[in-house]
Structure 1
Amino acid sequence: MDRAFFTALIVGMFSRIIMINLDQKQHPTQPNILLSQMVLAFVSSSLGALLVPALIKRSYTSITFLSLAAEQFRKVRENRRNVLQNLEDTQLIKRGSAFIEEIARTYETRNYICIVMSYFTIGIYYIALLEFKIDRNMSLIISAALGVILSLIIKKLLTRQSIGDIADVVPVDISFVDNSIMQVGDLKGITNLGLQSDRDRYLKRGVGIEIIPKDKNYINAGILFDAGQRQAIVYNIYSRVGLLRDSNEPAFVPLPRRNPKKESIVIAYIPIEKDVDKVIEAVKSCPILSTSRGKYISLKNYKIGQKGSA
C-alpha cells in the first residue's frame, strides 16, 4: 500500500510539474508562487491516491474530502483572480478581466488533474494486482508507466492554441496623415497625436503590425475581434518586449483597431528595443482565450472578401 500510494503521489505531482511554465513572463513565476503550486499538487495527488484504497475498504465517507478539496481549489482560483486584479493598476498595460479569468481557471483545473492522475495510477495498480493477479512490483511498474503516459497525453490535449495558429502576423508602416492622424498600414484614424515629439517617437521607435485571419475565416476573425483577446495580445507583447512609455504618457498606450477591409487587427507598438521579429513572435505566442471563441459561428461557411459573404 505504501509503495502504491507514493507511486500515485509522484505521478500526480509529475502531471502538475510538466504543465508548469517556468518562463519568467508567465505564471507561476516567482519561487513563492511555484512553491504554493507544488504544495497544492501534493495535496491534490494525496487525495487521489487515498481515494481508491478507501473505497476498497468501503469507507464511502472519504468521498466527502473531494468536495472539501473542490471548495478549496475554487478558493485558490478566487485568490489568484483577486491578486491579479489588484495588480492591474500597477501595470503599464493591463491584462484585462478575460485574461485574468483564464489564468485563474487554469490554476483551478490543473489541481483537479493531479487528483485524476493519482487516482488513475493507483486504480490501475489495484486492477492489475487484484483482477489480473500480477505481482506487486510489476503492478507498480505498469501503473506508473500508464500514469506517466496519460499525463503526457493530457498535457498535449490541454495545450491551447495561440494566435499564430489562427492568424498571420505581418509588419506594416506607421505614418501620420493630416499632420496628426495616425495611420497603421492602410487603416488611418487610429488616434490623434498633437505633439510632434510623440509622433517622432512612433516614427523612429514604433513597430506597426497587422494580424490577419488565416484562410479568410470569419471564425478566426471573431476570435481576434473579441475585446478580451485583443487586450491579451497587447499584454503578451508588453510582457515579452516591454513598452517604451511612462505611466503619465497615455499617447503611447497601444490601441488594437479593426481593419474592416481585411477583417484584421492593426497595432502600433513601441517596444523598448525595436525588433520587429520579436514583436511578431510575441503576438503569435499569445494564447487564445476560451471566452473569445464561439464568435461568428453563423458565418463559418463564408470567406472574408468573398462575394455574397456578410
Structure 2
Amino acid sequence: MDKIFLVGLTIGLLSRIIMLNLDQRQYPTQPNILLSQLVLAFVASSLGALLVPALRARSYTSITFLSLAAEQFRQVRENRRNTLQNLEDVQLVQRGEAFIEEIARTYEVRNYMCIITSLSTVGLHYLIISEFKLNSNISLIISACCGLLLAFILKKMLQRESIGDIADVVPVEITFVDECIMQVGELKGITNVGLKADRDRYLSKGLGIEIIPKDKSYSNAGILMDPGQRQTILYNIYSRLGILKEKDEPSFYPLPRRNPKKESLVIAYIPVEKDIDKLIQAVKSCPILSSAKGKNLSLKNYPIGKKGSA
C-alpha cells in the first residue's frame, strides 16, 4: 500500500503542477500563492490516494473526509475571493467582480483535479491486480501512466478559450476631433480629454486597438460586449504591460467602447512600453470568462451586418 499511496500522491501533485504555468499566465500573482497551492494539492492528493484503500478495508466513514475537504476547498475559494476584492481599491486597473469570481472558482476546481487523478491512479492499480492478476510493480507503472494521461486530459478540458480564439485584434489610430473628443479608429466620442498635455500623451505614447469578432458572429460579439469580459481584457493588458498613469488621473483610464457597425470593441491604452505587438498579444491571451459565454446563442448563425440586424 505504501508504494501505491506514494504513486497516487505524486500523480496528484504532478496534475496540479502542470496547471501552475497556466494559472500564472492567466492570473499573474504573488510567489507565496505557489506554496499555498502546492500544500492544498498535497492535502487533496493524499485524500484521493487514501480513499480507495479505506473503502477496501470497509471503512465507509472515510467518505466523510471528502465532504470535509470539499468544505475546506470552498472556504479557500471564499478566502481567495475576499483577498482579491480587498485589493481592488489599490489597483490602477481593477479586475472586476466577474474575473475575481472566475479566479476563485478556478482555485477550487484545481484541488478537485488532484483528488480525481490520485483516486483514479490508486483505484486502477487495485483493479489491475484483482482483475488481471499482474505483478504489483507492473501495475504501478501502468496506473501511474494512466494517471498522468488523465491529468493531461483534465488540463485540456479545464483550459478555457482566450480572446484570440474568437476575435481578431488589429491596431488603430488614436486621434482627436473637435479639438478634444477622442476618436479611436473610425469610432469617435470615446471620451472628452480637456487638457492639451493629456491629449499629447495619448498621441505620443498611446496605442489604439480594435477587437473584431471572428466570422461576423453575434455569439462572439456577445462575449466581447459582456461588462465583466471587458474589464478582464483591461486588467489582462495592465498586468502584462502596466499603464502610464497615476491613480488621480482619470483621463488615462482605458475605456472600451462598442463600434456598432462591426460589433467590435475599441480601446485606447497608454502602456509603460509602447509596443503594439505586445499589446495585441496581451489582448489575445486574455481568458474568456464562463459568465460571458452563452450570450446571443439564438443569433449564432446570424451574421453581423445582415440586413435587419441590430
Counterpart secondary structure, 1:18: helix
The answer (yes or no) to whether the contact 1:41–1:111 under 8 Å persists in 2 is yes
Counterpart secondary structure, 2:183: strand
Displacement of 1:25? 6.2
Q: Deviations over 1:159-210 (max 9, x none)?
A: 1110000000000011111111101011111000110001010011110100
**Alignment-mate amino acid for residue 70 of structure 2:** A
Counterpart secondary structure, 2:21: coil
* Residue of structure 1 equivalent to 2:11: 11
Q: Identify if the C-alpha distance between structure 1 residues 218 and 22 changes in structure 2 by more than 3 Å, giving closer, same or farther.
A: closer
- Please provide the CA RMSD for this pair: 1.2
**Alignment-mate amino acid for residue 74 of structure 1:** R
Question: TM-score, length-normalised on structure 2?
Answer: 0.98
Percent identity, aligned pairs only, is 72
Gaps in structure 2 of 5+ consecutive residues? none
Structure 2 counterparts to residues 220-299 of structure 1, below 5 A = 220-299=220-299
Displacement of 1:28? 6.5
Counterpart secondary structure, 2:169: strand
Provide the C-alpha distance between the structure 1 equivalents of 2:91 and 2:70, rounded to a whole number of angstroms: 31
Displacement of 1:308? 3.6
Provide the C-alpha distance between the structure 1 equivalents of 2:301 and 2:63, rounded to a whole number of angstroms: 47
The answer (yes or no) to whether the contact 2:212–2:262 under 8 Å persists in 1 is yes
**Alignment-mate amino acid for residue 105 of structure 2:** R
Question: TM-score, length-normalised on structure 1?
Answer: 0.98
Displacement of 1:9? 0.3
Provide the C-alpha distance between the structure 2 equivalents of 1:216 and 1:25, rounded to a whole number of angstroms: 29
* Residue of structure 2 equivalent to 1:70: 70
Displacement of 1:31? 3.1
Gaps in structure 1 of 5+ consecutive residues? none
Provide the C-alpha distance between the structure 2 equivalents of 1:41 and 1:192, rounded to a whole number of angstroms: 50
Counterpart secondary structure, 1:208: strand
The answer (yes or no) to whether the contact 1:174–1:182 under 8 Å persists in 2 is yes
Provide the C-alpha distance between the structure 2 equivalents of 1:175 and 1:137, rounded to a whole number of angstroms: 69
Q: Deviations over 1:192-247 (max 9, x none)?
A: 01100010100111101000000000000000000000000011000111100011
* Residue of structure 2 equivalent to 1:80: 80
Q: Deviations over 1:36-61 (max 9, x none)?
A: 10010000000000100111111111
Provide the C-alpha distance between the structure 1 equivalents of 2:171 and 2:283, rounded to a whole number of angstroms: 11
Does 2:306 match 1:306? yes
**Alignment-mate amino acid for residue 11 of structure 1:** I
